[in-house]
Chains A and B, each alone.
Chain A
């Protein structure tokens, strides 16, 4: 029991163990709520809700009317839970801490330790990321994992494309250090 508790509190689990947990969660989501796990759609629902309140004309488009539901959807609540769960995970290993900059050594060595670099790249990278997720119909969780477990062809096309451009981008960023 003691060993189990110690293993539970480890900062990192074996990815296989964490993967089994996510797999069970994926099954439960379909079973209990008839929904798929996803993250990127929640941001779009929130953005759509704010947009419809501030500029209803501009947001009265096909995407927000028919494809992406706006408002506080199931996915938005799920996203809230993800934040809670992530914090709980960090608290369980006593690594929870508010940070403005990343303390990742690799980031600091390759990109640089400056705060503005982290925020600038995070901001524009996230725009690129969310835009791509919008076109593809989901992100790593919503399309690749949730779609993959239902054997949707879209998921495997997405994973292939994601890795192709991800590898190319890291090649360009890391150059000789790749």
Chain B
């Protein structure tokens, strides 16, 4: 059952990425050139919507948060720096 949910949610996830144009090289790279901010608009809208939804549901006692990605400052930053190089080169 869990796998059916995963497949369905994954399909919606992929669909939204496709429709936002994040499957294209130019969309990903142009956000780093500040000529097309679609990636930021997409990412931050998604974050705001799910933030609002999750904190409301938790406030109502319907869900509990899963394990939050752990913070280890140096690792997160170095990983992010390496990740950014790959992202800007390939446009993935």
Question: Chain A residues in contact with chain B, CB under 8 A?
Answer: 10, 12-13, 15-37, 74-75, 77-90, 102, 104-107, 121-122, 124-155, 157-170, 173-174, 178
Contact = CB atoms under 8 A, between A and B. Distances in A.
B63 A31 contact: yes
A107 B20 CA distance: 19
Nearest to A31: B63
Contacts of B91: 104, 107
Contacts of B71: 152-154, 157
Given A137-B79, A170-B29, A12 B19 contact: yes
Contacts, number: 332
Given A132-B81, A143-B69, A161-B78, 19 more contacts: A15-B21, A19-B41, A23-B46, A25-B16, A32-B5, A82-B17, A84-B11, A84-B14, A86-B17, A87-B14, A89-B18, A107-B26, A127-B86, A129-B85, A132-B85, A154-B72, A162-B83, A165-B85, A168-B84
A74 B3 CA distance: 6
A37 B9 contact: yes
Contacts of A153: 71
B49 A20 contact: yes
Give the residue among B26, B50, B51 with the most A Cβ atoms within 10 A.
B50
B32 A147 contact: no
Interface string B19-49: 1110111100111110000110111111111
